[in-house]
């Protein structure tokens, strides 16, 4: 049995989950197979520094595990909030180093796209990047169609997917995009990333030994940080 702790801190949602390759999944709406427990809190104050380690301790204790039972820890690598990503990655690196276990990186947009349960041809996962910009990637099922990029909204943004096929737009940048395009033909889901949808991805990566170097790994910021 593989037991993996999943940590998601790329948005306002401080989220941790436990994934197992043998246990039955908790009841959730995303069709995730391997999530056995979830603990999260979405606060506009970005409470990750205060809550993350408390949540990790609580989720392990209530499932009768200790950190020594973990086979690996998965972290949401970004893109997303600079502060949130730094906290999550630093915490996971410290734990993996101390426990001498594997570290797994999960792309935040890939995990976000898993939340789409609607009947649509494509999924555009997008995270708010301030003003009229988002971090976005396009998926067809689990296949990456357009790689993560910083996208500035205009009338032609994602026009290929808006004009010819049924598309689901999902994430924290959806509301401002929907207000801009005013196109009712598609699905618009405002949602934060969550550790639930990291679980199946993390289990698959663990089986493939798809891990990262604990010492040298850095968050996927996508673009340079600029204050203000």
By the 8 A CB rule, do 193 and 128 touch?
no
Asked whether the predicted pLDDT for residue 227 surpasses 50, the reply is no
In a domain, 78, yes or no: yes
Q: Quick one: 184 and 202 in the same domain?
A: no
Cα separation, 108 vs 141, whole angstroms: 16
Give me the CATH number covering residue 164.
Answer: 3.30.420.40
Mean pLDDT (the chain) is: 92
Can you give the residue range of the structural domain that contains 101? Answer: 3-108+193-207
Q: What is the dihedral of CA 83, 220, 67, 30, to 10 degrees?
A: 100
Query: 0.75 cut: is pTM over it?
Result: yes
Q: Quick one: 19 and 129 in the same domain?
A: no
Confidence of residue 228 (pLDDT cuts 50, 70, 90): very low
In a domain, 38, yes or no: yes
Query: Tens digit of pLDDT for each residue in 125-137?
Result: 999 998 899 999 9
- Look at strands 102-107 and 72-78 and give their pairing: parallel
pLDDT for 158: 94
Q: Quick one: 102 and 121 in the same domain?
A: no
In a domain, 10, yes or no: yes
Q: Quick one: 64 and 137 in the same domain?
A: no
Q: Quick one: 44 and 90 in the same domain?
A: yes
Percent of the chain with pLDDT over 70: 95
Highest mean pLDDT among 3-7, 31-35, 174-178 belongs to: 3-7
209: CB partners within 8 A, 6+ apart: none
**Exposed e or buried b per residue across 38-59, where buried means at least 16 C-beta atoms within 10 angstroms of its C-beta:** bbbeeeeebbbeebbeebbeeb
Asked whether the predicted pLDDT for residue 111 surpasses 90, the reply is yes
Asked whether the predicted pLDDT for residue 173 surpasses 90, the reply is yes
Query: Tens digit of pLDDT for each residue in 208-217?
Result: 999 999 999 9
H/E stretch holding 91 reads helix 82-99
Query: Tens digit of pLDDT for each residue in 50-106?
Result: 899 999 999 999 999 999 999 999 999 999 999 999 999 999 999 999 999 999 999
Q: Quick one: 182 and 198 in the same domain?
A: no
Q: Indicate the number of domains in the chain.
A: 2
Q: Quick one: 202 and 90 in the same domain?
A: yes
Asked whether the predicted pLDDT for residue 28 surpasses 80, the reply is no
Over residues 161-186, mean pLDDT: 90
Residue 111's Cβ-count burial label (10 Å; 0-12, 13-18, 19+) is buried
Q: Quick one: 99 and 128 in the same domain?
A: no
Q: Quick one: 91 and 20 in the same domain?
A: yes
Asked whether the predicted pLDDT for residue 123 surpasses 90, the reply is yes
Q: Quick one: 40 and 101 in the same domain?
A: yes
């Amino acid at each position: 049995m593989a037991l993996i702790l999943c940590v998601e801190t790329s948005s306002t949602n401080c989220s941790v989950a436990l994934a197992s390759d043998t246990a039955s999944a908790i009841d959730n709406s995303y069709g995730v197979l391997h999530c056995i427990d979830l603990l999260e809190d979405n606060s506009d104050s970005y409470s990750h520094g205060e809550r993350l380690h408390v949540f990790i301790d609580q989720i392990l204790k209530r499932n009768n595990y200790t950190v020594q039972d973990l086979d690996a820890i998965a972290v949401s690598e970004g893109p997303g909030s600079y502060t949130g990503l730094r906290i999550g990655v630093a915490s996971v690196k410290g734990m993996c180093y101390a426990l001498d276990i594997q570290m797994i990186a999960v792309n935040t947009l890939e995990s976000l796209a898993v939340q789409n349960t609607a009947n649509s041809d494509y999924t555009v996962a997008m995270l708010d990047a301030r003003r009229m910009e988002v971090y976005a990637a396009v998926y067809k099922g689990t296949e990456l169609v357009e790689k993560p990029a910083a996208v500035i909204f205009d009338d032609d943004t994602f026009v290929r997917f808006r004009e010819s096929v049924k598309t689901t737009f999902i994430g924290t940048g959806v509301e401002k995009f929907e207000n801009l395009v005013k196109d009712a033909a598609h699905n618009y889901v405002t949602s934060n990333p969550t550790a639930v949808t990291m679980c199946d991805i993390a289990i698959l990566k663990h089986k493939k030994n798809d891990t990262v170097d604990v010492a040298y790994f850095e968050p996927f910021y996508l673009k340079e940080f600029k204050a203000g």
